[in-house]
Amino acid sequence: MKIIERNYLQKLINVKDTPDIKVITGIRRSGKSKLLDSFYDYLIQNSDNNVIRIKLNLKQFEKQKKPDALYDYINKKYKLGTSNYLLIDEIQLCEGFEEIINSLHEEERFDIYITGSNAFLLSSDLATLFEGRVFEINIYPFSYKEYLRYYDLTDVYSDFDDYIIKGGMAGSYLYKEQKDAYKYIEGIYKSTIIKDIIKKYRIENEDLLRMIGDYLMDNLGNKTSIRNLANNLTSSTYKTNDKTVGAYLDYLCKSFLFYPLNRYDIKVKKYLESGKKYCLVDTSFRYANLGSKDTDYGHLYENIVGIELLRRGYEVYVGVLYNKEIDYVAIKNGMKMYIQVSDDITREETFNREVTPLLSIKDAYPKLLIARTKHPISYHEGIKIIDIAEWLTDDMEF
């Protein structure tokens, strides 16, 4: 498989030699192990470094799946008088790994980097698993910019349509037929459901979990009420409740399939808990599981923009102003940006519908309308209007 440089490597380099345990998280097959491979290559360029690379999913490390054996192996590889780096893949395959990693961290002899199954390395569990400080790097599927780099493409506008269909799960690019690529992606989804959620939380009702996942994928861009969702899923022969649905939604997010976005009241500057939106980590999962029926490109674009904002390190919220909704309020370093996302804004009615909420905001923070314009950047009463493909390939912050 072709390997391209991603900015995650620089993130690892930036925290090298800090006292944190570095934990790489993200959806299955998003490139966590490949990132550690690239970081290993970077480290060994300095011949003075002692780099211990362990892949517990490989046969050669079968003996190291026992905690004492793993510790002894690492201890014997330690070298005095140099920098020691410890890189471990699939750490959960060693039963009792928490004790080993915590002990090694306490000894302060190694700079530690690990990946593992999402069932065992969920973001919310890291502080409990590891008693020391943890620095988490969350990996996303390929961005549009990375997709272009992978295929050596240069037509930013026209190649975007293919990205919508293929998505950013790079392992699927190896398949010549798109239907086979979707089978690969569907397999990742099933593995996430079964291994990362059902196994972790001992869920008995797999059908309900899948129904909730399908519902979220079929309603991208819409607010989701737990109570309404529970009511929609309840029939004369099938019963569920708010508590169960809420828990299952949480599990889907903890597995990195979906990212929940809270609402933000722009007028009173208050965060709201009800009516969250859920961004799908990659739109290819929707195509693989639901097909192309009833495709709302506006909502697909909105989802892609939301994930890209998260990828770029923004805090992302859904804006609320009186009875109007702003697709995204993006915050970074004390700065805000208000964003509307649309498919086609050539009709005056659609254009006015998108810009009106932005014009209602009276503060001076930047306002952006992202749409499929296929035209250069333009402005309307201070609102920047930009094509989605151009925005996705532009590194501008605000």
Amino acid at 74: I
Q: Is the CB of residue 242 less than 8 Å from the CB of residue 227? A: yes
Coil, helix or strand for 248?
A: helix
What backbone phi and psi angles, to 5 degrees, belong to 159?
Answer: -75, -10
Tokens for 130?
Answer: 């590891």
Q: DSSP string covering 204-239, please?
A: S-HHHHHHHHHHHHHTTTS-B-HHHHHHHH--SS--
- Tens place of pLDDT for every residue, the chain, 398 residues? 688 989 999 999 999 999 999 999 999 999 999 999 999 999 999 999 999 999 999 999 999 999 999 999 999 999 999 999 999 999 988 988 989 999 999 999 999 999 987 666 766 567 677 876 889 999 999 999 999 999 999 999 999 999 999 999 999 999 999 999 999 999 999 999 888 889 888 888 888 999 999 999 999 999 898 988 998 888 756 788 899 999 999 999 988 999 999 998 888 778 887 789 999 999 999 999 999 877 899 999 999 999 999 999 999 999 988 888 999 999 999 899 999 999 999 999 999 999 999 999 999 999 999 999 999 999 999 999 999 999 999 976 65
Sole residue written with tokens 């709201």: 272
Task: Report all structural domains of the chain as residue ranges with CATH numbers, in order of start.
Answer: 7-139 (3.40.50.300), 144-392 (no CATH)
Phi, psi of 349 (to 5 degrees): -60, -45
Q: Can you tell me the distance from the alpha carbon of 265 to that of 88, in angstroms, rounded to the nearest whole number?
A: 43
Alpha-carbon distance of 7 to 146, in angstroms, equals 10
Q: In the 8-state DSSP scheme, what is residue 323?
A: T
Angle between helices 67-77 and 97-107 (to 10 degrees): 30
Residue type at position 69: A
Question: Is the whole model's pTM more than 0.75, yes or no?
Answer: yes
Picking from 341, 249, 343, the residue whose alpha carbon sits closest to that of residue 296 is 343
